[in-house]
């Protein structure tokens, strides 16, 4: 029997010479060269080997033991990994597109930044191994084998349309994963970290999200019928009204309005102003983290260095507000009005600013030590700024790595020395933008409008 678990079959250990020969023939197979043979590593023991960077496209690794194996950067597209033992394997940045991982055990594995688009991670069936090495469904009873990804690290992986139904994904770190259209029907995601995940259109029917963290996650269009959200943290999650109505969120941890917590917002702002003016010696720093502040008018308010982590500020008015050095990480700022706001040195990491008006906003650096002239840059790492209006905004030296700016208006913006590594600028309007010294390495700019030649 094989189940991808500790009680699997005896697997013959592969020798380095044998492996080299198999890889050589497989490379020829992929290149359609004479003598090429598809790699057959079915039921072999490749534990702790270093297979990093190898091209194992279409290889048969069904039932293989890959315990602690290094596969970082490896290409495993369309590979057969049915019921494979991948516990503690390193699959960082591996390409697993359309791979068959049904019934595989990925407990404790590392799949950060891996590509799992259209990958099959559903449950499988215990198989019978025939004398000739072929596998077939057990003749007497079909025993389901659940794919397990418990305690795995899958940060920033692309799992678009992956099929993960019935899988065990407990206590797994899936921070910043792309899970659009993924199938999680009846999956057990208890206590998993889904912070910042893109779950648009995902199917989570009957899934168990007890104790899961979904701050900053996008659940727009997700199917949430019978999904269990007991003690799940949904503070800062992006949920459209239709999706919210279809879900049972009574037992989830949700953002509350200030009056529900007994907080006097006017008094908080007054005490914060005293705190700012006295250099922190008097008054009290404003802590509005996790609160629902949507639609509130903060125009002209002084919120310098205020704490607004995971705050819901959708459609809030922040015209001319001072938010220098404020912590607005994972905040929901969809369609917020930040016209001429002072955001120098602010943290907007993973914040959602879709459709926000940031015309003439100052998101440049702030000098924090006058004697040394040290500058502290604004942090917009992984910020979602799709369709945002940044006309004439100051974004000098801003850290915008892997930020999404699709369809954003950046005309006349000051982006000198900005770090845009891995940013998505598709269809962004960059006419008249100053990009001198900006780092656009790995940025998606093919369809961006108005970028200088060579960008």
pLDDT tens-place string over residues 268-292: 999 999 999 999 999 999 999 999 9
- Res 451: pLDDT: 74
The domain of 408 spans 255-455
Q: Is residue 342 part of a domain?
A: yes
List the structure tokens of 438. Answer: 């900006």
Q: What is the mean pLDDT of the chain?
A: 91
Confidence of residue 59 (pLDDT cuts 50, 70, 90): very high
Q: Is residue 123 part of a domain?
A: no
**Inter-residue contact 222 to 202 (CB < 8 Å):** yes
For residue 159, give the nearest of 82, 206, 99 by alpha carbon: 99
Q: Is residue 250 part of a domain?
A: no
Q: Is residue 152 part of a domain?
A: no
Say how far residue 41 (Cα) sits from the centre of its chain.
Answer: 32
Confidence of residue 169 (pLDDT cuts 50, 70, 90): very high
Longest Cα–Cα distance in the chain = 81
Confidence of residue 449 (pLDDT cuts 50, 70, 90): confident
Average pLDDT over residues 369-388: 88
**Inter-residue contact 339 to 358 (CB < 8 Å):** yes
Instruction: Please state, in angstroms and rounded to a whole number, the distance separating the CA atoms of residues 293 and 272.
Output: 17
Q: Is residue 167 part of a domain?
A: no
Q: CB within 8 A of 249, min separation 6: which ones?
A: 229, 234
- For the chain, the domain total comes to 1
Q: Is residue 290 part of a domain?
A: yes
For residue 410, the domain's CATH number is 2.160.20.80
Average pLDDT over residues 376-386: 97
Q: What percentage of residues in the chain have a pLDDT greater than 70?
A: 90
Task: Tell me if the pTM is above 0.85.
Answer: yes
- Strand ranges (E), 110-252: 124-125, 127-129, 135-137, 144-145
Q: What is the pLDDT of residues 91-143, one digit of tens each?
A: 999 999 999 999 999 999 999 999 999 999 988 655 545 555 554 443 333 44
Question: Comparing 144-153, 244-253, 290-299, 329-338, which segment has the lowest mean pLDDT?
Answer: 144-153
Give me the helices (H) in 176-284, please: 241-246, 265-277
Q: Is residue 222 part of a domain?
A: no
Q: Is residue 369 part of a domain?
A: yes
């Amino acid at each position: 029997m094989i189940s991808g678990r500790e009680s699997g079959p005896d697997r013959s250990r592969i020798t380095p010479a044998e492996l080299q020969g198999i890889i050589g023939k497989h490379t020829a197979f992929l290149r359609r060269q004479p003598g090429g043979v598809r790699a057959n590593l079915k039921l072999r023991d490749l534990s702790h080997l270093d297979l990093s960077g190898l091209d194992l496209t279409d290889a048969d690794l069904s039932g293989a033991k890959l315990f602690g194996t290094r596969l970082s950067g490896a290409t495993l597209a369309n590979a057969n990994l049915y019921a494979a033992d991948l516990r503690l394997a390193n699959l960082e940045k591996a390409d697993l597109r359309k791979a068959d991982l049904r019934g595989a055990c990925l407990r404790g594995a590392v799949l950060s930044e891996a590509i799992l688009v259209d990958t099959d991670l559903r449950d499988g069936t215990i198989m019978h191994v025939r004398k000739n090495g072929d596998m077939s469904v057990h003749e007497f009873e079909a025993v389901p084998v659940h794919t397990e990804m418990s305690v795995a690290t899958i940060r920033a992986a692309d799992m678009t349309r992956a099929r993960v139904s019935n899988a065990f994904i407990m206590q797994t770190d899936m921070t910043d994963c792309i899970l659009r259209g993924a199938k999680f029907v009846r999956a057990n995601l208890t206590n998993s970290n889904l912070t910042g995940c893109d779950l648009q259109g995902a199917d989570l029917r009957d899934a168990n999200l007890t104790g899961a963290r979904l701050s900053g996650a996008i659940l727009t269009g997700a199917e949430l019928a019978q999904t269990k959200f007991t003690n799940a943290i949904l503070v800062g999650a992006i949920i459209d009204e239709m999706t919210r109505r279809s879900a049972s969120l009574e037992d989830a941890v949700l953002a509350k309005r200030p009056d529900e917590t007994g907080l006097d917002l006017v008094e908080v702002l007054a005490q914060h102003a005293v705190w700012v003016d006295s250099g922190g010696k008097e008054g009290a720093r404003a802590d509005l983290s996790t609160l629902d502040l949507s639609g509130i008018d903060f125009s002209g308010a002084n919120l310098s260095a205020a704490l607004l982590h995971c705050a819901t500020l959708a459609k809030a008015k922040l015209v001319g507000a001072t938010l220098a050095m404020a912590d607005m990480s994972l905040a929901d700022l969809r369609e917020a009005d930040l016209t001429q706001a002072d955001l120098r040195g602010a943290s907007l990491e993973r914040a959602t600013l879709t459709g926000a008006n940031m015309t003439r906003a100052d998101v440049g650096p702030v000098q924090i030590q006058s004697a040394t002239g040290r500058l502290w840059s604004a942090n917009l790492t992984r910020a979602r700024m799709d369709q945002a209006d940044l006309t004439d905004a100051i974004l000098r030296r801003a850290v915008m790595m892997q930020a999404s700016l699709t369809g954003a208006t950046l005309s006349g913006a000051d982006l000198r020395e900005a770090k845009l590594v891995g940013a998505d600028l598709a269809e962004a309007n960059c006419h008249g933008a100053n990009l001198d010294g900006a780092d656009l390495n790995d940025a998606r700019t093919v369809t961006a409008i108005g970028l200088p030649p060579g960008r």
